[in-house]
Amino acid sequence: MKKLILLLSFVAVGFSAASQTKPLEIPLYAGKVPNEVPGPNEEAREVRPNQSISLTKVRQPTLTVFLPAKGKANGTAVVICPGGGYAKLAFSHEGTDVAQRLADQGVAAFVVKYRLPHPAVSSQPEITPLQDAQQALYLVRQRAKEYNINPQRVGIMGFSAGGHLASTAGTHFTQTTIPNPENLSLRPDFMVLVYPVISSDSTVWHKGSFELLLGKKASPEKLRAYSNDLQVTAQTPPTFLVHASDDRAVPAQNSVLFYQALLRHKIPAELHLYQAGGHGFGLNNKTTKDQWFDRLVNWLEANKLMANAVK
């Protein structure tokens, strides 16, 4: 009988630990979605031949929560912005897959299903993705105690156009686009940018991302405002960057320009440029045995973001 009780105890503990990593999708906003244009919910989900999932026509933004097991939780959190050129969200291989890996390392991860900049969805398309990113940062800090995280160790990660969104959150945090009654910080404590769209310089830009976000006739002033290498200041968060030199969709100069701007302002930064890999490789650059995610863990450890800070 004692053996049976002991076995059941182990099963219960195992189930409890496993349940900590079970993702939970919650609404990003408690009430009305800001600047919402009324219309039918036409959100579409596509499962590709490689089983990756992409989403389009997002109208109801959400946050998918991946919490590490309590014994592993180190107090650090990351808000993840999937890419997709501001036309779709590469939700699995640049979102939930990465979130699970972070949770396995003890980092709480939150995948933002953000609205794409379209006038059928929002009356202010230009700021809509930033609103959702800021709301995610706000919500994570507001619920920090509930999620067992340190509100001063909340970073943001983005891939491709999601990297543009993440870097916008990291360089435009004084531009508050959401209600913030508690006056919580909307500045990410660190950034992780993977093959990010950064520059509006037409020699290196991803034209489609800028045109969908700002319109095809955006003024030079507006393009400059969203060229995030030009918006780096001494207050920009420490940043980890990953890119492939042969990326033909979003040239590696995007990461290089941002890295150089960080150096000019003496911001701690680390850049990993792979010889090959193209664009959109997610966690797995098949051209190399090296794993950028391992380099990221090393960087987080070096910046004291992996040490347990939860009391």
**Residue 17, pLDDT score:** 40
Sequence-ordered strand ranges (E) for 145-291: 154-159, 191-194, 239-244, 269-274
Q: Taking a C-beta distance cutoff of 8 angstroms, is the pair 147, 140 a contact?
A: yes
Sequence-ordered strand ranges (E) for the chain: 24-27, 44-47, 53-56, 62-66, 77-81, 108-113, 154-159, 191-194, 239-244, 269-274
Q: Taking a C-beta distance cutoff of 8 angstroms, is the pair 62, 140 a contact?
A: no
Please indicate, yes or no, if residue 5 is contained in any of the structural domains.
no
Average pLDDT of span 70-86? 96
- Residue range 42-56, pLDDT digits in tens: 999 999 888 899 999
Mean pLDDT of the chain: 93
With a cut of 60, say whether residue 250 has pLDDT above it.
yes
Please indicate, yes or no, if residue 18 is contained in any of the structural domains.
no
Please indicate, yes or no, if residue 4 is contained in any of the structural domains.
no
Q: Find the CATH number of the domain harbouring 265.
A: 3.40.50.1820
Give the pTM.
0.92
The total number of residues written for the chain in this structure = 311
Return the structure tokens found at 169. Answer: 């959150």
Phi-psi region of 8 (alpha: psi -120 to 50; beta: other; left: phi over 0): alpha
Average pLDDT of span 132-158? 98
Domain coverage including residue 256 = 53-302
pLDDT: is 208 or 18 the higher one? 208
**Residue 308, pLDDT score:** 79
The torsion angles phi and psi of 14, rounded to 5 degrees, stand at: -60, -40
With a cut of 50, say whether residue 14 has pLDDT above it.
no
Number of domains composing the chain? 1
SS3 241: strand
- Residue range 102-115, pLDDT digits in tens: 999 999 999 999 99
Please indicate, yes or no, if residue 238 is contained in any of the structural domains.
yes
For 105, 107, 171, the CA distances from 250, given in Å and listed in that order, are 29, 28, 20
Query: In percent, how much of the chain has pLDDT > 70?
Result: 92
Confidence of residue 7 (pLDDT cuts 50, 70, 90): very low
- Residue range 20-44, pLDDT digits in tens: 558 999 999 998 999 999 999 999 9
Residue 149 burial (10 A CB sphere; 0-12, 13-18, 19+): buried
Please indicate, yes or no, if residue 234 is contained in any of the structural domains.
yes
With a cut of 60, say whether residue 15 has pLDDT above it.
no
Please indicate, yes or no, if residue 37 is contained in any of the structural domains.
no
Please indicate, yes or no, if residue 134 is contained in any of the structural domains.
yes
User: Edge-to-edge strands of the sheet including 269-274?
Assistant: 24-27, 62-66, 108-113, 77-81, 154-159, 191-194, 239-244, 269-274
With a cut of 70, say whether residue 11 has pLDDT above it.
no
Confidence of residue 311 (pLDDT cuts 50, 70, 90): very low
**Residue 50, pLDDT score:** 83
